[in-house]
Structure formats: C-alpha cells, structure tokens
Amino acid sequence: MEFEQLKLDPRILAAIKQTGFHQATRIQQEAIPIVLSGKDLMASAQTGTGKTAAFVLPALQHLLRPSKMRGQGPRVLILTPTRELATQVNENIRQFSRGLKMTSGSIVGGVAYGPQLRMLRGRLDLLVATPGRLMDHMEQGKVDFSRLEMLVLDEADRMLDMGFIDAVKEIASAMPTKRQTLLFSATLEGAVLKIANRLLNTPQSVSLAANHERHKSIEQCMHHVDSKAHKQKVLEHLLSNGESSKSLIFTATKRGADQLSKILRDKGHKSGALHGDMSQNKRRQTVENLRKGRLNTLVATDVAARGLDIKDISHVINFDLPMVAEDYIHRIGRTGRAGATGQAVSLVGSADWKKLSQIEKLTSRKIKRETIDGLEPTSSEPKSPGARKPNQKPRRRFGKATEPSTARKPGHWRKAESKGKRSKVSRVKKAA
C-alpha cells in the first residue's frame, strides 16, 4: 500500500517522499487509519517494522488542526524508555514535518536543564520525553498539560521493565482525561495489558505477528561455551572469520561492556562500548562512529542499545544472555532490518540453559546448535534445563523479601482541571 492511500495531508506526503519512503509497512497500514479516526490504539510491533512513523505521521496530521485550548504546553506527548529512542523519534518528527509550521523538542536525562526549561516556556506542539526527566520538570511546576490532546507510549513493555510504571501513571494523571492515547509494545500481555486497560478508552487493537513468526529474516544459532575464556575465544573467531561486517554485542553489565570492548580493541578490532554511565554526548558520538564505519563492533547493555536505529548491523551477538526472555527479541531485532538478512548468535554457558529454554519457549522455536572446529565444548547440554545437578542440595532462603521503599518529594505541575494545585510526585529512576 502506498502512503497516498492513507489519506495523509499532501504536505506530509511530500515530506515522506523526501525521506525516500513510498510503501507503507503493515503496522503503518493498520495503525494510521485508526489513529486518524481519533480512537485509542494498542499495537504490538517489533523494532524495524516502521512503528515510529505509524504514530508520528497521524500525530502530525492531528496537529494540522488548530487547537481549541490556550496555553504553551504540548498538544502531543510521546514517552519513550531511553534517551536514544527519544532522539530517534525526534529525528523522525523533524523529517516528516518538513514544510509544516510546528515546534517539537525532547526532554531527556544526561543533558543540561537550561535549554529544556527555555523550550518548555515557549509554545510547543509536540514533545518527546523519557519519564524520569519529565517528572523532574513536573515536580518544579514547569510542564503545562492543559493543551494535551494525544499521549503516545512507545515501547511500553520496556518502559515498564525499567521500572517506570508509577511514573507513567503519574504523568497520565496530570493530563486531561479527554485525550487520545496510543500504546505501542512488543507484546500486549501482563503488566502492559494492565496499564493499557487503565489508560486507554475502548481501544482498537493491532497485533502484527505471533512470536514464532517474528524475525524470519534472521538466522539464529547458539554456541555452548565452558568458561569465560572459552566464550571470548568463540567471540574472537566469530568476529574474525570475515562474515561479520558490523556487530552489536550485548553484555549483562556496564563494567562487562567496558572490559569486553577493551579486550576487542587490544586484539585489533574497532570496538566501542555503550552503556548508561556514559554521558549523552559520548553515547551519541559512539553511535555515530558505528554508523560511519569508524567502529565495526559495539558492545552494549540492553538499556543503552534500546532505540538504536542502525540499518546495516550484520550480527547481533549475545555475549551474555538477557535476564528476561522478551529482551532477546528486542536484541536480535537490531539486525535483519528493512528487508535485509542478519545473524543472531548466543553464547550459552553452564548457567544459561534455563534462560535459553525460556527464550525458545517464547519464540516457539529451537535455536540451532553450532560448534567451531577446534573450539568445541567439553561439557554437554543438560537434558532438563534448570534442573539441579546430581547431589546438588536446594538453596535455603531465610526471611521474606521486602519491597524497596521509595521516597516522595513534594512538587506540582499545571493541569487542565486544576491549575495551581500542589501534588506529590514519587521519585522515579532516570532513564539509563
């Protein structure tokens, strides 16, 4: 389907053409008409499917109609889990709003407050934000939601996984109840479905594919490794065999990302690290170096890599398997994009078999086992992943786990229904 068939404004269609897009993806075909109709929407879509345009394009169309409300605040708010994704969404807004007299901006952590405050004091049509930094400004009474007409929750599943569920609720409660709400997520189940039922009003639902249908263009395999040293040797082989042109490697920790990146540099690879302890400018420069070929290997944590939009990643390598099976889907979705094929390789140690089993259950497929000549494992795969080893005693647990306490800080924001009222806003962690 061509974009002209979606009844978008000619100015928006002209901007789409300038970006080089002609055919709408499936998520765009199904989501855009629903959003244009004014109905709430919850949609299941993976990264690389064109989901950003699925809400940006109809949001821009909505903004072409003059607002009936007075004020300076945004008419559309897009919440994202990470700074990188916010930057990507904001860039798409700039591309698609060429020729339109609209103001947009982003509120994210890791950058100075001053420019953000000046932006919030001016007239704003569309705002992209991470929950943590937006809450900071709300606590200071710097955010005006009196004109808010549309709320978009992008990658809602990840937002909730990162602990932002309370922040999302607080932010939504500060908005007019009469609004259009859109929720995009990799899955529509569990906590995501609960928050959707709470925030959306009789929404339409769009689901692209079942788990087993996802990532058909990605060849998935795993290598059994005996130790960390063995794992590093297998990784070195994978990066040196000439098949990998640009690789994204995932580690479990920030320290692990730094250490592995240094090891790879010492072995002659053009490698860099990406994690939440780096400044925003440093992270942006690292990603740019990868895009332009100054780096060919990026070692990253899940949080930092969320929202990365690099088209030509040939390999995604799970040096450490993710703690949550759904994150595996997000990770491997970094390759095999826009019709290209990709490779997803997982390095599985003795403590990882249960994680692998959960991933295979989620994806409804058995991941191919592979070995490298000369680097074969000495141990074998357990018959029952997650089962205790022979003669291994069960762990005893003492006491009950307690929920961490959260401090509360007084603050206020302006609301359509009750301007000037002071409220309490719970402190939430900043986006990594």
422, part of any domain: yes
Question: Residue 403 carries which DSSP code?
Answer: P
What CATH number corresponds to the domain at position 48?
3.40.50.300
Q: Which domain holds residue 228?
A: 214-370
**Domain identity same for 259 and 190:** no
Q: What is the C-alpha separation between 321 and 367, in angstroms, rounded?
A: 13
Q: What is the pLDDT of residue 111?
A: 86
Phi, psi (deg, nearest 5) at residue 384 = -125, 90
Q: How many helices (H) and strands (E) does the chain have?
A: 15, 17
Average pLDDT, the chain: 83
H/E stretch holding 128: strand 126-129
Q: Find all residues with CB under 8 Å of 107, minimum gap 6, and list them.
A: 86, 116, 119, 120, 127, 128, 129, 130, 133, 134, 137
**Domain identity same for 22 and 45:** yes
Q: What is the C-alpha separation between 210 and 255, in angstroms, rounded?
A: 35
Q: What is the C-alpha separation between 177 and 64, in angstroms, rounded?
A: 22
Q: Are 299 and 311 in contact (CB under 8 A)?
A: no
285, part of any domain: yes
**Domain identity same for 244 and 366:** yes
**Domain identity same for 55 and 191:** yes
Determine how many CB atoms are found less than 10 A away from the CB of residue 427: 16
**Domain identity same for 190 and 255:** no
Which DSSP string corresponds to 262-289? Answer: HHHHHTT--EEEE-TTS-HHHHHHHHHH
**Residue 65 CA: distances (Å) to CA of 78, 100, 404:** 18, 12, 46
290, part of any domain: yes
360, part of any domain: yes
Last residue of a domain, one of 323, 341, 370: 370
345, part of any domain: yes
401, part of any domain: no
198, part of any domain: yes
**Domain identity same for 231 and 132:** no
383, part of any domain: no
Give 280-308 pLDDT, tens digit per residue: 788 889 988 998 889 999 999 987 666 67
Domain count, the chain: 2
Q: Find all residues with CB under 8 Å of 51, minimum gap 6, and list them.
A: 27, 31, 43, 45, 154, 184
Q: Which two tokens stand for residue 187?
A: 């899955």
- Tens of pLDDT along the chain (432 residues) come to 788 889 999 999 999 988 878 788 889 999 999 999 999 999 987 666 788 999 999 999 999 998 888 778 899 999 999 888 898 899 999 999 988 989 999 999 888 899 999 999 888 999 999 999 999 999 999 999 999 999 999 999 888 888 898 999 999 999 999 999 999 998 787 888 889 999 999 999 988 755 445 567 789 999 999 999 999 999 999 999 878 889 999 999 999 999 999 999 999 999 999 998 888 788 889 988 998 889 999 999 987 666 676 778 899 999 999 988 878 887 888 887 666 788 999 999 999 999 999 998 888 889 999 999 999 999 888 876 554 444 444 444 334 333 333 333 434 444 444 344 434 444 444 444
Q: Is 430 helix (H, G, I), strand (E, B) or coil?
A: coil
Predicted model pTM: 0.60
H/E stretch holding 85: helix 83-96
Give 103-162 pLDDT, tens digit per residue: 999 999 888 899 999 999 888 999 999 999 999 999 999 999 999 999 999 999 888 888
Question: Residue 211 carries which DSSP code?
Answer: G
What is the identity of the amino acid at 299?
Answer: V
